[in-house]
């Protein structure tokens, strides 16, 4: 299963991608929301999951979620915010915009696994 990891921090992209790889995903990285939209627009299989940071230059995560939800081709993609934004109002905004889950940094691979299990996205044979 493909997963899109969107974060302006290269280190954070690597951490999330490595965690997802260990859970059986094939991660593709993007440095901001517009880069991720460009990757999606290239065609090919739509990732099953996108892990999205909120605060990024060029296009923030909330705008990315809104744009994905506006495109019928991408509506089936599961969107999970992975961000330091921890205020209740921010969580509500993200979920109202179309995010399925919300994971607050810092996090562990086990926390990612738990969220993916809740979403029914753990690849076959990878769930603990």
d(CA 17, CA 123): 15
Of 6, 9, 17, 1, residue with least CA distance to 112: 17
pTM of the model: 0.90
Computed over every residue of the chain, the mean pLDDT equals 91
Please identify, in words, the CATH class of the domain defined by 2-119.
alpha beta
Taking a C-beta distance cutoff of 8 angstroms, is the pair 16, 43 a contact?
A: no
Q: Distance of alpha carbon 87 from its chain centroid, rounded? A: 19
Q: At residue 126, does pLDDT exceed 60?
A: no
pLDDT at 123: 53
pLDDT of amino acid 106: 87
Q: What does the domain layout of the chain look like in residue ranges? A: 2-119
């Amino acid at each position: 299963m493909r997963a899109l990891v969107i974060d302006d921090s290269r280190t954070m992209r690597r951490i999330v991608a490595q965690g997802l790889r260990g859970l059986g995903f094939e991660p593709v990285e993007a440095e901001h929301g517009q880069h991720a939209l460009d990757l999606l627009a290239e065609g090919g299989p739509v990732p099953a999951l996108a892990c999205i940071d909120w605060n990024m230059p060029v296009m923030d995560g909330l705008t990315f979620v809104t744009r994905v939800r506006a495109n019928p081709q991408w509506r089936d993609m599961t969107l999970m915010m992975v961000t330091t934004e921890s205020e209740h109002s921010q969580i509500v905004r993200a979920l109202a915009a179309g995010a399925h889950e919300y994971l607050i940094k810092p996090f562990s691979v086990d926390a990612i696994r738990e969220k993916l299990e809740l979403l029914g996205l753990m690849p076959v044979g990878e769930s603990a």
